[in-house]
Amino acid sequence: MALRIPTISSSHGLASSPAPISTTCRPAVLAVGSSWAAAAAVQKRSLLLATTASETRGVAPLRSSGIETTSVGAAAEAVTGQVTEVNKDTFWPIVEAAGDKVVVLDMYTEWCGPCKMMAPKFQEMSEKNLDVVFLKLDCNQDNKPLAKELGIKVVPTFKILKGGKVVKEVTGAKIEELAHAIDTVKSG
């Protein structure tokens, strides 16, 4: 049995053909019981544990792809200077808490190569742009409703919000384009 993610399509071609060099990942079909599904289950348990810890201490640091991130539990907080991992339940409260600050959301998946390449660059951006809130959302099954609401079609996709509304989008591993888009939104 296979699960199809209708909002994200495949572009990697057949297994026998060489894979195109791409700055985006698009999943084809995810088999139940696949290693991705197992990894997602482990991550879900980790986030559940982190959320429980964050409810008692406020915020719990997580490690994802070797990059330090923060998971926000019950209290929504717009943190600058770092990347905050969000989910379908914490995203909008954090955006509201950000007020007039620019919010940049990295929509990724654990298995996406270009997403992994962008993670350290995104982290560096968060450390340099202390007036911007940087968030990341794993577009897994649990967060599918939010990904669909935000119109995700490929990963990585970066949504730039101001005043609670999406004002710009950058798709693919295009760090210069993302930096320019952030500067444009900050100055306008």
Active-site residue list? 112, 115
DSSP conformation class of 79: -
Q: What is the H or E stretch that residue 112 is in?
A: none
100: which DSSP letter?
T
SS3 161: strand
Amino acid sitting at position 137: L
Q: Contact, 106 vs 120, CB < 8 A?
A: no
Query: Strands 132-138, 83-86: parallel, antiparallel or unpaired by DSSP?
Result: parallel
Which two tokens mark 44? 């879900």
Cβ–Cβ under 8 Å, residues 72 and 122: no
Nearest-angstrom CA–CA distance, 126 and 112: 21
**Cα 137 to Cα 21, 56, 103, distances in angstroms:** 24, 23, 13
**Which two tokens mark 164?**
């609670």
